[in-house]
Amino acid sequence: MTGQDRHMLKSFGRFFCFNATTASASKKKPLVFLGSPQVSATVLDALFNASSAPTSSFEVAAIVTQPPSRRDRGRKVLPSPVAEYALDRGFPSDLIFTPERAGEDTFLSTLQALQPELCITAAYGNILPTKFLNIPSLGTVNIHPSLLPQYRGAAPVQRALQDGAKETGVSLAFTVRALDAGPVIACEKMEVDDQIKAPDLLAILFSEGSKLLIRELPSILDGSARVRAQPQDDSKATLAPKITPEESWLSFDQEASVLHNKVRAFAGWPGTRAKVVIVDDKSGQQNIIDLKIITTNVCRNPNIQANEKDDITYVKGAIIVPCGGCTVLEVLEVQLPGKKVVKAAAFWNGLRGQKLKFL
């Protein structure tokens, strides 16, 4: 028997001991929550708070999250943000499960023993097999940060920003085996500001999603949500595939709006980068560096014209970069390798008269 198996069995006994002592005082429906990053903790917080209300009809019986991983630049192996939050709230550690895969037999046996009526997922990060989906009697409901069937997949917020979407939202949908294709219970729309970055928009959408979940939970738990949930129109589906590090490079042959949207979309991870040549006219020396582009804006000042590609200038707090289609990108914040993020003014002053070229 592995250590994980012993943990699962111990947790199984711990849960039923807990239930035996509280059964007479509570007939709340057991719910299992699955989530991993910080935005998921927002949803878990809403569930904890709602479940503690005197009129609540459910309780969080267990939490499933990603295994501990290296964070803080790889120095420490730490639990997921959801696990950390749950422990801080006093949730029993032996009711927090961290399977490598949601299809592991030992994990599925333990989940089955918990007899959850409902599972809630919010950025869990693992594919849920049919064996998992068959366990909760009321099904599994997912908070997805897009207006389904738009942007099905791993990176809906990032792809929406990359596309320059003016509107997005969050959907509450039943989970089926097909990717993000289950019936939609409810959704909330919101306008997208042209300066907002992916981490901020993601946090807003999961905050709104947690409110939507709490509002709809009574109908989910009494079964009426299943009846009125609307099937998705697959013909209108768009995909939001996982982002790769190779996509982080910027090409200034593209228009400024395309680059600005990419900077916003890839903020946080993997970020956006450009190859930059620093030229010393006095010595003729050239130094090529990878420069992270942190914050940008599309220049709409009619007095600033797009010059030659190599003509990089500085105007009122922004590095002015000519782009494709006679457009201009304002670079407002950058980051040198191994350094902190700085304003464009600080970076420009540090050049001390040297010139820039974006490759």
DSSP secondary structure string, 98-124? --SSTT-HHHHHHHHHH--SEEEEES-
d(CA 242, CA 222): 35
**Ramachandran category for residue 63: left, alpha or beta (phi over 0 → left; psi -120 to 50 → alpha):** beta
**pLDDT values of the chain reduced to their tens digit, one per residue, 359 residues:** 455 555 554 554 455 444 444 443 458 999 999 999 999 999 999 999 999 999 999 999 999 999 999 876 667 899 999 999 999 999 999 999 999 999 999 999 999 999 999 999 999 999 999 999 999 999 999 999 999 999 999 999 999 999 999 999 999 999 999 999 999 999 999 999 999 999 999 999 999 999 999 999 999 999 999 999 999 999 999 999 999 999 999 999 999 999 999 999 999 999 999 999 999 888 889 999 999 999 999 998 766 665 555 679 999 999 999 999 989 999 999 999 999 999 999 999 999 989 998 88
Helices (H) and strands (E) in the chain, counts: 10, 16
Q: How many CA atoms lie within 13 A of 225 on its CB side?
A: 25
d(CA 147, CA 54): 33
The owner of tokens 């997922």 is 121
Opening angle at CA 33, ends 31 and 38, nearest 5: 150
The pLDDT value recorded for residue 24 is 37
The pLDDT value recorded for residue 12 is 47
Strand partners, 124: none
The pLDDT value recorded for residue 76 is 86
d(CA 3, CA 60): 25
The pLDDT value recorded for residue 300 is 86
Instruction: Return the SS3 of 94.
Output: helix
Nearest to 6 by CA among 154, 106, 81: 106
Pairing of strands 118-122, 313-315: unpaired
The pLDDT value recorded for residue 74 is 61
The pLDDT value recorded for residue 32 is 98
What global pTM score does this model have? 0.90
Instruction: Return the SS3 of 24.
Output: coil
d(CA 243, CA 174): 25
The pLDDT value recorded for residue 306 is 59
**Amino acid identity, position 28:** K
Pairing of strands 140-144, 118-122: parallel
Instruction: Return the SS3 of 333.
Output: strand
Backbone angles phi, psi at 329, to 5 degrees: -105, 130
Asked if residues 40 and 124 have their Cβ atoms less than 8 Å apart, the reply is: yes
- Please give the structure tokens belonging to residue 132: 């998992």
Instruction: Indicate the helix (H) or strand (E) that contains 289.
Output: strand 286-298
User: How far apart, in Å, are the Cα atoms of 324 and each of 83, 163, 210, 283, 313?
Assistant: 46, 17, 41, 31, 16
d(CA 104, CA 19): 25
Nearest to 255 by CA among 332, 159, 323, 162: 323
Instruction: Indicate the helix (H) or strand (E) that contains 46.
Output: helix 38-51
